Amino acid sequence: MPSGPRGASVLTAAFLASVALLNGCITTHETVREEPERLKVEFENDCAARLFYEAFSRTPDAHGRRESETKFEIPVVLSVSRTVVRSENAAFNHAVRRCDTNQDGKITEQEARIFAEQQGR
């Protein structure tokens, strides 16, 4: 039976190897849902609001949820993955932050026009 610090590391390695052999590998998966409240935003005028909403409706994640997945693996030993699900509100908030370039909480007609051009009219 090994003893001392080296013995402990041998035992730890033997334990991990036996866990890996018995179970194949250690696998964890986590799903995180982002469901924030919509940001309160003001529009300079009706034209600014119309331009913003039309451009927002053309963004890829405006209609429905969007997922992104990150994965970390050590073959045979460890597999960790994480899925982030973004709601429509998260997409709306992202669009507002992009459009409201001076971050004053009010979308001007000029800011809305620039955002609309970025979304490809």
Which residues of this chain interact with Ca ion, rule CB under 5 A? Answer: 100, 102, 104, 106
Structure tokens given for 91: 């997409």
Nearer to Ca ion, 100 or 119 (CB): 100
Structure tokens given for 62: 């405006």
| Helix/strand/coil (H/E/C) assignment for every residue in 54-96 | HHHHCCCCCCCCEEEEEEEEECCCEEEEEEEEECHHHHHHHHH
State in angstroms the smallest separation of the CB of 120 from Ca ion: 22
What number of residues does the chain have?
121
Nearer to Ca ion, 68 or 102 (CB): 102
State in angstroms the smallest separation of the CB of 48 from Ca ion: 10
Nearer to Ca ion, 9 or 110 (CB): 110
State in angstroms the smallest separation of the CB of 71 from Ca ion: 38
CB contact at 8 A, 34 and 88: no
- Backbone phi and psi for residue 12, each to the nearest 5 degrees, phi listed first: -60, -45
Nearer to Ca ion, 93 or 100 (CB): 100
State in angstroms the smallest separation of the CB of 113 from Ca ion: 12
